[in-house]
């Protein structure tokens, strides 16, 4: 068996495996489009001779974390032929991907799991969820008069992206989008957009949506202020002669719209979504922003059986500026340990998905309750979100 990157002439073999594993069939046009964007250096496969046995895609992304841009390695397209399962191929690919990401300075990794328990075994953990709303017309927010104007079907990526960045950069784990990503993965040929421009001509919010029979399906609802949110909802309400409801397909977990509705009894669903994994604990924590003006020191024992460079006892010293000095101690002396946990738990914790006290109550973070409280005070409160898929 050989582990290597795919070659340009192995596109067909890659597509064939994906179609079988994920149960879809590409049309000739779709296949030709994918071939144009095929980057073999992003694909890793296990080969028996020239035969592709299993593969994954390793995508170079950037995300927002605490308002800063951080390099992230996205895992996608993990697939193996059924006759090759339980031979350790996927395990080999994932371990190799972690080494690749570490060497490239991608300190965090995301993936969308086919099975959450499966990827937890390799150190990934849920880091975000989103809400879905179904709101009937009679329960829409009240229509309002606004000083600006709505413009439909704006496809200027620079306008949309400026609002997107302003909205999502306050969340942890949102994707930094480039123009190619907007074109290939966000904007749809049969979709619509609407942008709210303020009275002075500044874009303040947008929606991406589709009209389906008696319903509007809204994929993205971005607003920079309440004026924009009200204007966009009034725009949706002005479809009331042809729709019965709006389905909000992906809303941040901290969204407060139901409370603001005249009647908040609408259908709401919380959907667990992507998983995250700290790839390189030392580098990740060195770029992390802890609470300032609170010098602190903790000894944290970390279990990571898949990425051994993270495994062991770590001394975390935080200065008044909120920057950390991270030292891996040569010996694993339990008497020195303040807190003990695994890499999955730390990934959820430092992304801002769960708090130290919550994890301590779940027995996912063990140790002295006073040290748990200290860690609680060291980590800024954050909200996770992701609007994209790969």
**Residue 384 counted as domain residue:** no
**Residue 55 counted as domain residue:** yes
Q: In what order do the strands lie in the sheet with 324-328?
A: 324-328, 312-318, 296-303, 339-342, 366-367
What per-residue string of b and e applies to 89-118 under the rule 16 or more CB within 10 Å gives b? bbeebbbbbbeebbeeebbbbbbbbeeeee
- Report which secondary-structure segment, H or E, holds 237: helix 226-237
Would you say 246 and 257 are in contact if contact means Cβ atoms under 8 Å apart? no
Q: Which residues contact 358 (CB under 8 A, 6 or more apart)?
A: none
Q: Same domain, yes or no, for 23 and 143?
A: no
Tens of pLDDT, residue by residue, the chain (390 residues): 899 999 999 999 999 999 999 999 999 999 998 999 899 999 999 999 999 999 999 999 999 999 999 999 999 999 999 998 888 999 999 999 999 999 999 999 999 999 999 999 999 999 999 999 999 999 999 999 999 999 999 999 999 999 999 999 999 999 999 999 999 999 988 899 999 999 999 999 999 999 998 999 999 999 999 999 999 999 999 999 999 999 999 999 999 999 999 999 999 999 999 999 999 999 999 999 999 888 899 999 999 999 999 999 999 999 999 999 999 998 766 678 999 999 999 999 999 999 999 999 999 999 999 999 999 999 999 999 999 999
pLDDT at residue number 334: 67
CATH number, position 321: 3.30.1050.10
**Residue 60 counted as domain residue:** yes
Last residue in a domain, options 108, 127, 146: 127
**Residue 70 counted as domain residue:** yes
**Residue 9 counted as domain residue:** yes
Q: Same domain, yes or no, for 310 and 326?
A: yes
The sign of the CA dihedral 141, 147, 150, 154 is negative
Q: Same domain, yes or no, for 264 and 291?
A: no
Structure tokens at 316: 């975390």
pLDDT at residue number 86: 85
**Residue 339 counted as domain residue:** yes
Q: Which residues are bridge partners to 303 per DSSP?
A: 342
Q: Same domain, yes or no, for 193 and 75?
A: no
Q: Same domain, yes or no, for 146 and 235?
A: yes
pLDDT in tens, 267-276: 999 999 999 9
**Residue 172 counted as domain residue:** yes
Q: Same domain, yes or no, for 254 and 294?
A: no
Q: Same domain, yes or no, for 171 and 245?
A: yes
**Chain centroid to CA 60:** 13
Q: Same domain, yes or no, for 110 and 31?
A: yes
pLDDT at residue number 147: 97
CATH number, position 171: 3.40.630.30
**Residue 390 counted as domain residue:** no
Domain count, the chain: 3
pLDDT in tens, 217-230: 999 999 999 999 99
pLDDT at residue number 84: 82
Q: Same domain, yes or no, for 143 and 257?
A: yes
pLDDT at residue number 189: 83
Q: Same domain, yes or no, for 123 and 6?
A: yes
259: exposed, middle or buried (Cβ count in 10 Å: 0-12, 13-18, 19+)? exposed
Last residue in a domain, options 243, 272, 301: 272
Last residue in a domain, options 95, 127, 159: 127
pLDDT at residue number 135: 98
Domain span at residue 340 reads 280-347+355-378
Q: Same domain, yes or no, for 41 and 118?
A: yes
Q: Same domain, yes or no, for 306 and 217?
A: no
């Amino acid at each position: 068996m050989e582990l290597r990157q795919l070659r340009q002439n192995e596109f067909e073999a890659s597509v064939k495996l994906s179609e079988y594993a994920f149960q879809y069939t590409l049309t000739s046009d779709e296949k030709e489009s994918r071939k144009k964007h095929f980057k073999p250096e992003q694909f890793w496969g296990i080969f028996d001779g020239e035969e592709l046995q299993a593969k994954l895609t390793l995508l170079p992304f950037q995300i927002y974390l605490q308002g800063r841009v951080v390099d992230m390695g996205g895992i996608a397209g993990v697939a193996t032929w059924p006759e090759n399962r339980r031979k350790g191929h996927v395990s080999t690919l994932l371990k190799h991907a972690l080494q690749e990401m570490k060497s490239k300075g991608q300190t965090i990794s995301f993936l969308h799991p086919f099975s959450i328990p499966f990827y937890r075994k390799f150190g990934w953990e849920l880091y975000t969820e989103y809400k879905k709303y179904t709101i009937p017309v009679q329960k829409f927010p009240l229509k309002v008069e606004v000083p600006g104007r709505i413009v439909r079907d704006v496809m200027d990526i620079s306008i949309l992206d400026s609002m997107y960045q302003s909205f999502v950069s306050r969340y942890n784990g949102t994707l930094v989008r480039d123009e190619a990503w907007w074109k290939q993965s966000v904007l749809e040929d049969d979709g619509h957009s609407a942008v709210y421009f303020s009275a002075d001509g500044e874009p303040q919010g947008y929606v991406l949506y589709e009209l389906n029979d008696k319903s509007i399906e809204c994929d993205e609802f971005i607003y920079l202020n309440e004026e924009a949110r009200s204007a966009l909802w009034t725009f949706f309400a002005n479809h009331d002669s042809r729709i019965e409801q709006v389905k909000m397909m992906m809303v941040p977990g901290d969204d407060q719209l139901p409370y603001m509705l005249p009647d908040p009894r609408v259908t709401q669903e919380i959907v667990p979504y992507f998983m995250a994994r700290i790839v390189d604990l030392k580098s990740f924590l060195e770029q992390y922003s802890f609470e300032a003006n609170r010098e602190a020191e903790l000894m944290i024992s970390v279990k990571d059986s898949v990425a051994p460079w993270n495994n062991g006892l770590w001394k975390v010293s935080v200065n008044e500026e909120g920057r950390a000095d991270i030292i891996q101690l040569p010996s694993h002396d339990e008497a020195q340990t303040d807190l003990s946990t695994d890499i999955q738990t730390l990934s959820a914790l430092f992304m801002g998905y769960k708090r130290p006290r919550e994890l301590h109550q779940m027995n996912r973070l063990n140790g002295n309750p006073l040290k748990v409280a200290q860690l609680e005070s060291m980590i800024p409160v954050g909200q996770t979100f992701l609007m994209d898929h790969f």
